[in-house]
Amino acid sequence: MTEPDGPIRVLLADDETMIRHGVRLILRHAEGIEVVAEAADGRQAVELAAVHHPDVALVDIRMPVCDGLAAIAPLLALDPAPRVVMLTTFGDDENVVRALREGAAGFLLKDEGPQELISAVRAAAAGDAVLSPGVTGAVISRMLGAREPAGAGGAAADERIARLTGRERDVLAALGEGLSNQEIAARLGIGTGTVKTHVGAILDKTGSASRVQAALLAHRTGLAS
């Protein structure tokens, strides 16, 4: 998982023209961020992403032709794959849960402020999870209450944790608290590059598709509360 060398390239996918226009205006004035493509449905988002290679894809959950949920897998199958952040509305917890299980990097409420939007794009580009505070609690509770998906070849959660080194468990616990790479580095007294290496190993060893899924695993196994 590498950070972009130049400006963060963003693809917007939303069937509402005014939403796309508003997001584009906000990001246009943000330093180091460039909107490279806009799509009105999930199918178009995948097609444009294959051409423009965005670092981050902001994707509405509800769209015609092909909705955001159906677009996640083909977006993540691209090489290079963008970090997919779902745009949602308050109360759409069930679809957010589905998106996170599909490997989305996180979610953002459509009515968040400009600075929250900019911060979310930068966090996603840096490999961090994006969790909108307005619905995080409800979504985490719903995911924790659901049956544990098999994952990692069907291994149980405790078995997946047993594959980690002590330091990787420390990093996973911090992920469960929602800390960024920089925050984890400061807490553990290690470099951010080392944190990224540990996160990559955690995702690989536990079969987690994203930091969000790894964080949920930390909660399920008691590493985080």
147 pLDDT above the threshold of 60? no
How large a percentage of the chain has pLDDT more than 90? 52
Quote helix, strand, coil % in the chain, to nearest 5. 55, 15, 35
Region 155-167 average pLDDT? 87
Please, what are the domains in the chain? 8-143 (3.40.50.2300), 154-220 (1.10.10.10)
d(Cα 96, Cα 118) in Å, to the nearest integer?
Answer: 20
What mean pLDDT value characterizes the chain?
86
Q: Is the pLDDT of residue 69 over 80?
A: yes
Task: Look at residue 150 and tell me whether its pLDDT is greater than 50.
Answer: no
Percent of the chain clearing pLDDT 70 (strictly above)? 86
On the question of pLDDT at 154 being above 80, the answer is: no
- Of 5-9, 40-44, 71-75, 83-87, minimum mean pLDDT range: 5-9
Please state at what angle helix 211-220 crosses helix 93-101, rounded to 10 degrees.
100
